[in-house]
Amino acid sequence: MIAIERDFNAYLDQVDVITVLLPYSYFQGTSNVFRLKGEGVDLPLAIQEKVLLEDAIKYICLSSIRPELGKIYVIWDEHGGQTDLQIGAVIRTEEFDSLFFYGGDDLGVSYKPEKTLFKLWAPTATKIRLRLFKEDDQNPELIDMNRIDKGVWSIELAGNLELYRYSFLVCINLEWREAVDPYATALTVNGEYGVVIDPAKAKVPIIDAPKLKRPVDAIIYEAHIRDLTMHPNSGAVRKGTYLGAAEMETKSPMGLETGLSYIKNLGITHLELLPFHDFEGVDELKPARDYNWGYNPVHYNVPDGSYASDSGDPYNRIMELKQLISAIHSQGMGVIMDVVYNHVYIREDSPFEKVVPGYFFRHDVHGLPSNGTGVGNDIASERMMARKFIVDSVIFWLNEYQVDGFRFDLMGIFDIETMTAVRKAVNSISTDILIIGEGWDLNTPLPSDRKANILNQGKLTGIGQFNDWFRDSIKGSTFNIYDKGYALGNDRYLEAAKQVMAGSIGIGKRKQGLFLQPGQSVNYIESHDNHTLWDKLKISDPDQNEAILKKQHRLATSMVLLAQGIPFLHSGQEFSGRKKELATATDLQMK
């Protein structure tokens, strides 16, 4: 790799537009000539516009050729100064998507006992090396990969590479960065490296779950894998793990059913599990030390190792999660997977950002990362390869782990086309799969008519939305703890209660409802976020007799179950205020 000392900076912002920034400290920021040089190329750039900035002059230049991504170019000015041509905003253009969309289904690792194929989509890279090594190998092998069509880099290696560790060294803008494979399906402890596994050895027979004729036949129960068994009275032996949650016929010291048996007897059809794809926040070597819900996603196609009995064995977490799913199915319940594709834990550390900087994340008009999620980054689902990753990942979990539904965290960040593509892809496998999401209207730089939010539910056929109108009408405002809803005795919400009990589709004088059909409405009054209903009752009416509070709690929960739509219960919601009496089947509300 050549070394170039930068006297100024230049960026490819469109396929044929180059932006040059000359600081005032460099010849007062002036130059009348710029040339583009590279292999077989030495051409003048046509200066189209000069823009005076606070600390530099910006020259917008037109190139008579389209610089080829993946090759190194140098920009020279009239003073003899130079810089490499860096990848700029071109990656966020429709032309880039059109040129480099790759529709293949073989990104990541394709393993066979006699050979393994590695593929990575990285169109802006000028060089990529595969780092490959056995466990505890102090001298990893570095293998140059080959650039093929659509910005994909590939290498096929002979021999049995099962359990080899790997990562990618990617050179972009003359800088090397190391990244884990975004499509990795197995990891070392804490996700430091991808691992080559034999998919045949990761198979676990999974019992089929019962199928529903209609989404409104579902009753969803939200829980956390660790919390299902961590309480001292849970009766589970392997507390806080996939296998612990899979234990059958567990009981508390008082002889009360706990765990899956307890949940089954509630009449639940689907157990929705908080995120179990690989996340940050818990050291997999010391899983009992920290607690995390799982909304810090890092690697999307691998189960988190903090719930595994042996996080050091790449197969272990995979097989134990499959055993849990099979156990849930055996109790006649489906599994809904809470997926967090809307953001990553830390953008700069994400494999997406390391492999194709700037592409997978949405940016505002100033070129800064947008923050509609509130955690510092928004996935740019409208870009073709970001959309493809989301669809590919959903289908992977559906085929490999046989989950029965998906709950999309902050779905309002996504675009309608992506969620429609997800529904279509899922339907090609099974139309019985539930897809629900949080369709909040979030402040992300996407046109309003393209957002997959509750306001555009008419364009999101077959996708349920968490109904905050129902929540706030029955319980009271989530964001005003003292606001009481209809079930708490506030008859000001009477008409709203009638509407939401009828599926929020519009009845009586209200011609237009929130939804077109009840199957789009996920009715709930509490979830893992914000106050539980019981806490709200106690805070908003602290002097009320507890017997009355319990009746209000029972009424609100009954309305969730009886309303038209899809009922959603938060784990422990059914306890009301009687935690001590019931000993507990989950620990979600007892943290």
Report the catalytic residues.
409, 438
Tokens of 223: 């829980």
Question: In this structure, are residues 524 and 475 in contact, taking their beta carbons and an 8 Å threshold?
Answer: no
For Cα atoms 335, 338, 344, give the angle at the middle one, nearest 5 degrees. Answer: 150
Q: How far apart are CA 244 and CA 253, in angstroms?
A: 17
Q: Which residues of 452-467 are buried (b: 16+ CB within 10 A; e: fewer)?
A: bbbbbbeebebbbbbb
Q: How far apart are CA 466 and CA 411, in angstroms?
A: 10
Q: What share of the chain is helix, strand, coil (3-state, %, to 5)?
A: 30, 25, 50
Residue 195's beta-bridge partner residues? 165
Cα dihedral 13→381→190→311 (10° resolution): -150
Q: How far apart are CA 54 and CA 493, in angstroms?
A: 55
Residue 549 CB neighbours (<10 A): 20
Instruction: State the alpha helices, DSSP H only, in 331-378.
Output: 351-355
For Cα atoms 187, 190, 196, give the angle at the middle one, nearest 5 degrees. Answer: 10
Q: How far apart are CA 503 and CA 357, in angstroms?
A: 44
The pairing of strands 334-339 and 270-273 is parallel
| String of DSSP letters for 206-219 | -PPPPPPSSGGG--
User: Nearest to residue 367, comparing CAs of 89, 173, 95, 97?
Assistant: 89
Instruction: State the alpha helices, DSSP H only, in 300-431.
Output: 314-330, 351-355, 384-401, 416-427
Residue 250 dihedral angles phi and psi, to the nearest 5°: -80, 150
Q: How far apart are CA 467 and CA 560, in angstroms?
A: 11
Counted residue by residue, the chain has a size of 591
The contacts of residue 298 (CB under 8 Å, 6+ apart) are 191, 278, 279, 280, 344, 345, 350
The contacts of residue 151 (CB under 8 Å, 6+ apart) are 69, 70, 100, 102, 121, 122, 123, 124
Question: In this structure, are residues 570 and 524 in contact, taking their beta carbons and an 8 Å threshold?
Answer: yes
- What's the one-letter identity of residue 275? P
Tokens of 116: 């393994």
Strands, E, within 253-384: which ranges? 270-273, 277-279, 297-303, 334-339
| String of DSSP letters for 99-140 | HH----S--EEEEETTEEEEEEE-TT-SEEEEEEE-TT-SS-
